[in-house]
A and B are shown apart, each in its own frame.
Chain A
């Protein structure tokens, strides 16, 4: 009936997912914007009035939910041309102090959930012999920052996923890339989940973490908004030859470059001593 390309996006209640869903709808995509809590759907519904955008429930942590959302979209649209794997959140705390449960929860969404959605969509794209998958990775997938080591490790894994999946899907004409935003003005930081030990004030790294949290939360007024990430998504979708990665924001371009030409010891010194400033506390 329609020949609009169909896009399927996770984590659209706020931030990057929200803006990407809107932009793609404005640019003529038929958009399935998914979110795990439909009570948060109103702002997007309002913003998308008159656009071809439909909201579906999807919690990437839950296999049944993934299955039913993808099935529903395919039933309605007959195809999926674009998958944007955006749902994710950030754990905050010292790597030493996360519990097993906290560690698994971070990976459940940022990696296992992402793979789960991808695995559900792939047969559809293979059937079409076309499709594009964009993973929202992060600058934190290229280098590790203090206080968010666990989050970084999950995003490093997304880099490996993207690189290998690209080659695995090349014979099926399915293209994969990773978008790497630096700091972006979204509720992401407010939504961070802090390690319990830190929250209770019992961390061995308490003061350092508090300082990182404080500074980390403030200077971001100059950071780009989520629209900028949406634009990068669109750019990747329109590229004839989609690159492996798309950094978004000045920090996302500069940090990896600095790392690239700085010797390890110098970079360590900058990142660990100057930036992280972990100290021996207590005693």
Chain B
């Protein structure tokens, strides 16, 4: 192969993106680590001292910012071998408690932003006749729990986007796949936003919201360390061709296969049991 692999990682200043940037660079790739907020880029600058990691300013919500970032990268390297499409956040809250703007913000980053970066990168990958795009999905792409509907909807959509891009890009030698992790220790909880109406005294869901928060907290106490995901990402990028989907923890396999096996009614009953308010057992 010619020279080191060139990788672009979005949302690289924190959590999964940061850990994957580090791991890819340690494997010898030149990693363009995209961040949007200079005040939060400290950990990235830390990495640049010892590793071929190059911070790149890029807000996936803004087309000019994405285009400029990708152009800069291509000017310096002439190619992009790997895109880890990772930037994203959680907008929590019951559907009725989310404003139009909340919902659009959620999609702007997790879906339109992900697509925007893929669109910016694809022409050069197709031209070079190779490339790998790995989209960050979630187990929320298989299960849509109450209180997390809009986030799940973005990850369901990403699922479809991965499938479509896969079909389109394969003939050009470009591979597209998706990783679907469950809970992992990152800043995702601190960075979670709540829908506008969630804490309003008038919200009909407020008792449920409290139960939801408690459950989320419990689940994150059992979250896996980032290394788990890093291993899977490295494995996926090492495959040729990549499989359509990569799961991470045993729990994630369980969710995936239960979903596959169970009829809708049984699946829903099981999911409902985890959220006692929506499934009161009289």
Binding site for B on A (CB under 8 A): 63, 94-98, 100, 103-104, 107, 111-112, 115-116, 118-119, 122, 126, 143-144, 146, 149-150, 152-161, 163-168, 170-172, 204-205, 243-245, 260, 264-265, 268, 271-272, 276, 278-280
Please state if A100 and B116 are interface contacts (CB–CB under 8 Å).
yes
- A272 engages B167 (CB within 8 Å): yes
Query: Given A119-B95, A146-B167, A164-B152, are A264 and B244 neighbors across the interface (CB < 8 Å)?
Result: yes
> Chain B's nearest CB lies how many Å from the CB of A83?
13
B112 CB–A CB distance under 8 Å: yes
Residues of B within 8 A of A146 (CB): 164, 167-168
Known: A112-B100, A278-B171. A171 touches B278 (CB 8 A): yes
Chain A residues within an 8 Å CB radius of B163: 143-144, 149, 152
**Which residues of B does A touch, CB under 8 Å?**
63, 94-96, 98, 100, 103-104, 107, 111-112, 115-116, 118-119, 122-123, 126, 143-149, 152-161, 163-172, 204-205, 208, 243-245, 260, 264-265, 268, 271-272, 275, 277-280
B268–A166 contact, CB under 8 A? Answer: yes
Tell me the nearest residue of chain B to A166, going by C-beta: B268
Contact B275 A280 (CB under 8 A): no
* A61 to B: closest C-beta gap in Å: 11
Q: Name A142's closest neighbour in chain B (CB-CB).
A: B160
List 13 other contacts, CB 8 Å, given A161-B144, A168-B278, A171-B277: A95-B115, A95-B119, A96-B169, A111-B107, A119-B95, A122-B96, A144-B160, A153-B158, A164-B152, A168-B147, A204-B123, A264-B245, A272-B166
Docked-complex contact A168 and B149, CB < 8 angstroms = yes
Shortest distance from the beta carbon of B218 to any chain A beta carbon, whole Å: 18
Cβ contacts under 8 Å, A143 to chain B: 163
Given contacts A156-B157, A160-B149, contact A96 B260 (CB under 8 A): no
Complex contact B167–A160 (CB within 8 A): no
Query: CB-CB < 8 A to B166: which residues of A?
Result: 268, 272
Residue of B122, B156, B157, B244 near A268 (CB, 8 A) is B244
> Among A103, A149, A152, A168, which residue has the most Cβ atoms of chain B within 10 A?
A168
Among residues of B, the one whose C-beta sits closest to the C-beta of A241 is: B265
Q: Which residues of A contact B165 (CB under 8 A)?
A: 95-96, 149
Task: Report the number of A-B residue pairs with Cβ-Cβ less than 8 Å.
Answer: 164
Bound Cα distance from A244 to B230, whole angstroms: 36
- Which residue of chain B is the closest to A271 with respect to CB atoms? B167
Q: How far is the CB of B222 from chain A (nearest CB, A)?
A: 22
Query: Are B172 and A280 in touch, CB under 8 angstroms?
Result: yes
Contact A160 B144 (CB under 8 A): yes
Q: Which residues of A contact B169 (CB under 8 A)?
A: 96
**CB closest residue in chain A, given B145:** A164
Residues B95 and A116 in contact, CB atoms below 8 Å apart: no
Contact of A96 among B119, B143, B149 (CB under 8 A): B119
- Between B95, B112, B170, the greatest number of chain A beta carbons within 10 A of the residue's beta carbon is seen for B95
For B96, B111, B116, the residue with the greatest tally of chain A CB atoms inside 10 Å of its CB is B96
Contact B153–A111 (Cβ < 8 Å):
yes
Of B100, B115, B160, B271, most buried by chain A (CB within 10 Å of CB) is B160
Q: Given A119-B95, A156-B159, A204-B126, verify A165-B149 contact (CB < 8 Å).
A: yes
